[in-house]
Amino acid sequence: MTPQCFLKTLKTAKQTYTFLIYKLLLNSSSINQTLASPETPLSDLNLSTLRRILSDPDIKSWKCISLFNFILENPSLFSFQPDLRTHLSLTFRVLSERRFSYAKELLKPVAIDDILRYPFNVIVSSVIDECGCEKKVVGRFFNSMIMVYSDNGKFSEVVEVFEYMKNNEVKIDEKTCTLHLLNLKRCDQMELARDFFSLMVESGIDVVTVYSLTVVVTVLCCNGEITRARELVEEMGLVKGVKANIVTFKSMIGCCVKRWDFEELDLVLKLMEKESVMLDLDSYKVLIDGFTSYGKVEEAERLVLMMHDKKLRVESYLYNLIMNGYSRFGLVEKVIELYSEMSSRGVTPNKDTYWVLMNGLCKAGKVCEAMSFLNELRVNEFEIDEEMYSTLSEECYRVGMIDKSLEVVAEMIRDGFIPGATICERLADSLFEVNRKEAQMLITIVVKCGIKPKSCSQYGLK
């Protein structure tokens, strides 16, 4: 055979193998099974052939990705490994189809992997050399690079990509910037988040939105920089025309309330009014909780009335917070007044409502009224817990209502609770004094609790 014939035969053989791989990929529904088959001529696949396959529009992109991943996962089966150019070629293909999650997975090895990773400037050079894509696809590529770096904690590289995009007029997606800020917040990189937002603002590019503003405001609030957060909201409204929304303001409200910084809270609420942002249901709840915990109970009550006026749903626990606040100050009349208002406004009291009422009345020495609410609890089929029973029995004893205290203890036992040794001993002492037989029963309970009361020796019991 002449050398020319030999070369022609060899060329034909290679074309046959290449065509066979092409045909298998084209017709297969399961790429991994196809590639694992002994009939697949993998040894004849080379880098040049791979590039042609990956760029072939007749082969679905998902099949190309499966082939590509198979090669990466089985390096021993091949005499080559995909290079940077091959990675980028397939990445641009899937980005042109808006398959962003695939693109990010393809970029991870060349951007993050300890062995395969390339510096960003090398990746940029390859993009410039190889890219014949539309401008919007190039934008998608660099935005994907930002997310790959950000998702994997390569925050300095994010800034490098951002600067490159800004300097070369590549469109930066505002959503990409917001997601990066969220990653920084999740990683507790508060300073980096502030710095990156400043970079966004100073870039002169229209990438600052209410979403990115809200993230940075939250970051500042987490650091206790409430005043800076409020000033930033004002600045962005004036300079960038970016108006804060209720979510932005809720971060500041929550921070002010937690820190009991009511002076700053007033300024935040005034800014809300100026920006025509209305309080929502959650904001009212946070404010009421904050006011009552600090002791600004009247302010909290005023907010509940505003909620009713605005037809917002007022839950019973909000009334409970205010009633408990008044109870702490001994203003039991206000507690009763609010309970009546609840009923008139159609807000159904819950078990905690009754507990606040009964506890407040007991502290004020109005034990009879507290006992009447115990009966109301039963009527409404609420479960009476051990703490309620203990409080009522002790308060009844304190005001000299021995029989009522004994009645509560008996009911407590019927419901499966063990009364406190102290109240049992006190009741026993009182009952022994008047020679009541219930005294023996109470002493027995105390002894079963492992406590030897003074009544035992005092009255000759062992």
Q: How far apart are CA 44 and CA 388, in angstroms?
A: 82
The reply to whether 92 falls in a domain is no
The reply to whether 422 falls in a domain is yes
The reply to whether 214 falls in a domain is yes
Q: How far apart are CA 451 and CA 454, in angstroms?
A: 10
The reply to whether 247 falls in a domain is yes
The reply to whether 333 falls in a domain is no
Domain count across the chain: 2
CA atoms within 13 A on the CB side of 324: 17
Residue 24: φ, ψ to 5°: -65, -45
pLDDT at 135: 85
List of long-range contacts for 430-436, beta carbons under 8 Å, 24+ apart = 430/397, 430/402, 431/402, 431/406, 432/458, 432/459
pLDDT at 53: 82
H-type alpha helices, 187-280: 190-202, 210-222, 226-235, 246-258, 262-274
Element (H, E) at 92: helix 84-96
Take residue 433 and report the two structure tokens written for it.
């004094």
Question: What is 25-74 written as a DSSP string?
Answer: HHH-S-HHHHHHSTTS-GGG--HHHHHHHHT-TTS-HHHHHHHHHHHHH-
Per-residue pLDDT of the chain in tens (462 residues, 90 and over written 9): 454 443 344 344 344 445 556 666 655 555 555 555 555 556 667 888 888 888 888 888 888 888 888 888 888 777 788 888 888 888 888 898 899 988 899 888 888 887 778 889 888 888 876 666 788 888 999 999 999 999 999 999 999 999 999 998 889 999 999 999 999 999 999 999 999 999 999 888 888 889 999 999 999 998 889 999 999 999 998 888 889 999 999 999 999 999 999 999 999 999 999 999 999 999 999 999 999 999 999 999 999 999 999 999 999 999 999 999 999 888 989 999 999 999 899 899 898 998 898 888 888 888 888 888 888 888 887 888 888 888 888 888 888 887 887 788 888 888 878 777 777 777 777 766 655 666 666 666 666 655 555 555 454 444
Take residue 406 and report the two structure tokens written for it.
């004994």
pLDDT at 306: 93
pLDDT at 438: 62
Choosing from 208, 223, 251, the residue where a domain stops is: 251
pLDDT at 439: 62
The reply to whether 457 falls in a domain is yes
Q: Is 37 left (phi over 0), alpha (psi -120 to 50) or beta?
A: beta
Choosing from 211, 231, 251, the residue where a domain stops is: 251
Distances (CA, A) of 75 to 55, 64, 70, 81, 456: 21, 17, 9, 7, 86
Choosing from 251, 279, 312, the residue where a domain stops is: 251
The reply to whether 337 falls in a domain is no
Q: Which range marks the domain in which residue 438 is found?
A: 406-462
Could you tell me if 143 and 172 are in contact, meaning their C-beta atoms sit under 8 angstroms apart? yes
pLDDT at 52: 85
The reply to whether 104 falls in a domain is no
